[in-house]
Structure 1
Amino acid sequence: MNNFSRLRYFIYLSFIIIGGCTTGKKALQKGDYDASVAKAVSRLQNSPKNSEAMNVLPTAYNLALQNHLRNIEEAKASNDLFRWEAIMYEYQKINQLADDINSCPACLPLVPTPVKYIKELNDSRYNAAVARYNSGLEYLKDNNRISAKKAYYEFEKVQNLQPNFRDVKAKMDAAYWAAVVRVVVQPILINSNLYKLSGDYFQQQINQFITNYSRNKFVIFYSEEQATKQKIIPDQILSLNFDDFVVGQTYLKERVEKIKRDSVVIGETRDKKPIYGTVRATLSIFDKNISSSGLLDMTITDWRDQKIIRQQKIPGTYIWRDSWASYKGDDRALSKQEFAMTRKRESIPPPPTALFLEFTKPIYNQLVNDISVFYNNY
């Protein structure tokens, strides 16, 4: 390690040591009493005789305690329906201060009896759960999907606050199924035996997507077969149909180029000296494009009133390309790349079923993105 590297290491280490030696005095001066207590406790755990930390801790603790108790009284006096959550949070902070001090032997002589509010914390948690539970019941009374979704989240908060509170699990389950949108995805119909297998594969990809969809738990997709077996009454129907598709449109283009190259050795003199001249060739380049494309109609319909909620036309195109060449004349006029093209022969294009699958790939990507965007926050 060179001198410069040693210096950088020493400076870095010094900053770590200085940062670790804070006593909480600056936090106390800024009015961040909880942080001041935490830093003073940490300092006294590492250095029990640190005089500055010993001076800071009692003051910081008393100020932090009074601040939390003041916040509790203000919250109790408010009309906020969910004030008990704020009260619970304040009691949690007070109890955390006590736990921190009790874990530090050097701190206990300075703050001998840090107060803990166990019963008050439990009471506030219970009251917070009651408030959320009642809020959820009010939302359920509205008897609509949006309110049911809000009710679900209220009951979920109850479950987090007070596990097994009354019948919250049953209420949560009821709210969930009242909020869920059941979407039946109809199979794609392709009126061509030639493309049936390709269409089935495209359908399998869509089925896999809807089976694995999990971005919004309030949306459940069913295939038509699943909906029939499970006797599902849908909320929406998602139908997918090709308005049109064309497979294998062929375009062949020929380009003819006159090529010459100077300073090419074309012979030699009697005394074996090279003779330079110009060579010429006619190059014919063939470009073959086979285009396949289709337009998929995605329609989402409300099952009850048969109103179209969303309709999207999704295009997809795939072009298979091939190039080769031939020439007449002197091949020395050609570049390496041009000569290589003349060695290549026309390729056999993919079968129509493969071309069908290729143009459905961009359609599939757009389709799943559109479905995700539409339903993710539904």
Structure 2
Amino acid sequence: MKKIVSLSIVLILILSGCGSSKKQLEKGNYEAALDKAVRQLRKDSRDTKQISILDKSFTTLNEQDNERIRYLKMEEKPANWDEIYQINKRMNDRQAYVRTVTPLELNGKTIEYPYVDYMPEMVAAKRKSADFYYAHGNELMKSKLKESYRQAFYEFVRAKEYVGNYEGIDTKIDDAKYLGMSRVLISLQNKSIIQFGQEFEEDLLSLDLPRLNSEWVEYHTRDLDQNTKYDYYVNVNIRNIMVSPDQTMQKDTVVKKEVEDGFSYQLDKKGNVMKDSLGNDIKTKKYKTLQCALIETIQSKACQINGDVEVVQVNPNKILKKDPLGAQSDFEFISARALGDIQALSQSQIEKTKSRAVPFPSDMEMVMRCSDALKQAINGAIQSNKRFIN
């Protein structure tokens, strides 16, 4: 009901921003028309057009609200008391709003409305509404269904918000919240032939749990205790870990480079040095070829982890979704040595010659290097499947 009322207010505000009070009145948007009329009358209390629109809108809205209250009371449904309370509150607020510009004068007639005390009706309706929510919440708790527990939670909260003096209401709110909560246990199942330590497993499951949690779903990566019942399991299954052997490959490259090597004089047919237009000797640059053999040693190793993420519902027991899971880490190191004139090499090639082969990482180190990529994959799989858990 609260959401409906809030939506109505938002709609009224939107409508009040579009078109004049007269247009709003013609469309039957009486709340928007009233709001615009009051705003204009605060600027000019003698605006007869706005006075007429205010009178029409205010009278029509109150007639509609009173008719709705009469109908709701005739139905004699306990669930109607909240709407009756909300309508009376709306009429009370509307009355206070209009009284900021009244009395008004229209064609020699005073426009003023008798004060109506809505408070007794509001208090009575609010109390009866709270009684209904409290009683209905107790009935919902008897069904032993998640959705009913959640609805009971909202009913108890509303009862406390409206009245607040029900015996044990806080305990009922806590119980409904606890029973309505779905709990998910995320666990890692290593089914590969390579075993890794507890620290690595904990690191993989160091997820941002508050970000995963929602109002009615909470995730855990550790079993709280034997008495905690989980509604869903997210099983992260590591099925295959493949680590390649240490690989060393040699690559030989002959690098050649042309560099300046002095100059020679340009001669004419008679063997004399030729001159340019300024009388200078004409010189020709001489080049020589530098050559160097670059012997690169390329060390490489790779690790690939494959598995899947299963979302399992407990009651009834079934797999809701299974997504593939994978991560890879690569090791590569390049060192080199040069034979010949090192000046033939580029700067990047020279840098390679300053390095020497390094020890290969162990198989377990390669697995550990997959940690970040694997965590991202696990988190991504869980996030994408949250819609199956409620």
- Asked whether the two chains share a fold, i.e. TM above 0.5, the reply is yes
Contact 2:184 2:217 in 1 (8 A): no
CA distance in 2, matches of 1:298, 1:164: 48
Alignment of 1:310-349 (within 5 A): 314-331=325-342, 333-346=344-357
Structure 1's 42 and 347: CA in aligned 2 closer, same or farther, altered over 3 A? Answer: farther
Q: Using the TM superposition, give the Cα deviation of residue 345 of structure 1 relative to its aligned residue in structure 2, in angstroms.
A: 4.1
Answer yes or no: is 1:245 the counterpart of 2:256.
Answer: no
Q: Which residue of 1 aligns with 2:12?
A: none
Answer yes or no: is 1:359 the counterpart of 2:354.
Answer: no
> 1:150-208, CA deviations, whole angstroms, 9 ceiling, x for partnerless residues?
33333334444443446543333333333234455567779999953xx4154056256
CA distance in 2, matches of 1:55, 1:304: 64
Higher mean Cα deviation, 55-64 or 157-166?
157-166
CA distance in 1, matches of 2:40, 2:120: 31
CA distance in 1, matches of 2:288, 2:152: 91
> 1:273-312, CA deviations, whole angstroms, 9 ceiling, x for partnerless residues?
4213555444444443332233456566677998666665
Answer yes or no: is 1:129 the counterpart of 2:130.
Answer: yes
Answer yes or no: is 1:52 the counterpart of 2:49.
Answer: yes
Amino acid of the residue matched to residue 28 of structure 1?
Answer: L
Structure 1's 186 and 343: CA in aligned 2 closer, same or farther, altered over 3 A? Answer: closer
Amino acid of the residue matched to residue 214 of structure 1?
Answer: N
CA distance in 2, matches of 1:282, 1:114: 103
After superposition, the CA RMSD in angstroms is 4.3
Alignment of 1:362-373 (within 5 A): 362-373=373-384
Structure 1's 194 and 92: CA in aligned 2 closer, same or farther, altered over 3 A? Answer: same
Structure 1's 71 and 342: CA in aligned 2 closer, same or farther, altered over 3 A? Answer: farther
Q: Which residue of 1 aligns with 2:225?
A: 227
Answer yes or no: is 1:68 the counterpart of 2:69.
Answer: no
Structure 1's 205 and 186: CA in aligned 2 closer, same or farther, altered over 3 A? Answer: closer
Answer yes or no: is 1:215 the counterpart of 2:210.
Answer: no
Q: Using the TM superposition, give the Cα deviation of residue 96 of structure 1 relative to its aligned residue in structure 2, in angstroms.
A: 1.5
Q: Secondary structure at 2:124's aligned position in 1?
A: helix
Q: Which residue of 2 aligns with 1:100?
A: 97
CA distance in 2, matches of 1:259, 1:63: 94
Structure 1's 137 and 38: CA in aligned 2 closer, same or farther, altered over 3 A? Answer: same
CA distance in 2, matches of 1:324, 1:74: 89
CA distance in 2, matches of 1:121, 1:48: 31
Structure 1's 235 and 30: CA in aligned 2 closer, same or farther, altered over 3 A? Answer: closer
CA distance in 2, matches of 1:92, 1:161: 13
Q: Secondary structure at 2:370's aligned position in 1?
A: helix
Q: Which residue of 2 aligns with 1:269?
A: 264
Amino acid of the residue matched to residue 129 of structure 1?
Answer: A
Contact 1:256 1:284 in 2 (8 A): yes
Answer yes or no: is 1:153 the counterpart of 2:154.
Answer: yes
Contact 2:301 2:332 in 1 (8 A): yes
CA distance in 2, matches of 1:347, 1:48: 89
Structure 1's 213 and 252: CA in aligned 2 closer, same or farther, altered over 3 A? Answer: same
CA distance in 2, matches of 1:166, 1:111: 45
Match of 1:40 among 33, 37, 53: 37
Q: Using the TM superposition, give the Cα deviation of residue 63 of structure 1 relative to its aligned residue in structure 2, in angstroms.
A: 1.8
How many residues are treated as equivalent by the alignment?
353
Structure 1's 301 and 57: CA in aligned 2 closer, same or farther, altered over 3 A? Answer: closer
CA distance in 1, matches of 2:145, 2:195: 47
CA distance in 2, matches of 1:49, 1:23: 17
Contact 1:98 1:116 in 2 (8 A): no
Structure 1's 41 and 78: CA in aligned 2 closer, same or farther, altered over 3 A? Answer: same
Q: Secondary structure at 1:290's aligned position in 2?
A: strand
Contact 1:185 1:223 in 2 (8 A): yes
More helix by share: 1
Q: Which residue of 2 aligns with 1:10?
A: none
How much identity, in percent, do the aligned residues show?
A: 17
> 1:295-335, CA deviations, whole angstroms, 9 ceiling, x for partnerless residues?
45656667799866666553221113333444444445544
Contact 1:101 1:107 in 2 (8 A): no
Q: Using the TM superposition, give the Cα deviation of residue 210 of structure 1 relative to its aligned residue in structure 2, in angstroms.
A: 4.6
Q: Which residue of 2 aligns with 1:13?
A: none
Contact 1:297 1:313 in 2 (8 A): yes
Amino acid of the residue matched to residue 43 of structure 1?
Answer: Q
Structure 1's 255 and 76: CA in aligned 2 closer, same or farther, altered over 3 A? Answer: farther
Higher mean Cα deviation, 357-366 or 104-113?
104-113
Higher mean Cα deviation, 348-357 or 86-95?
348-357
Q: Using the TM superposition, give the Cα deviation of residue 233 of structure 1 relative to its aligned residue in structure 2, in angstroms.
A: 5.1
Q: Which residue of 1 aligns with 2:199?
A: 200
Contact 1:301 1:309 in 2 (8 A): yes
Unpaired runs of 5+ in structure 2? 1-15, 266-280
Contact 2:327 2:377 in 1 (8 A): no
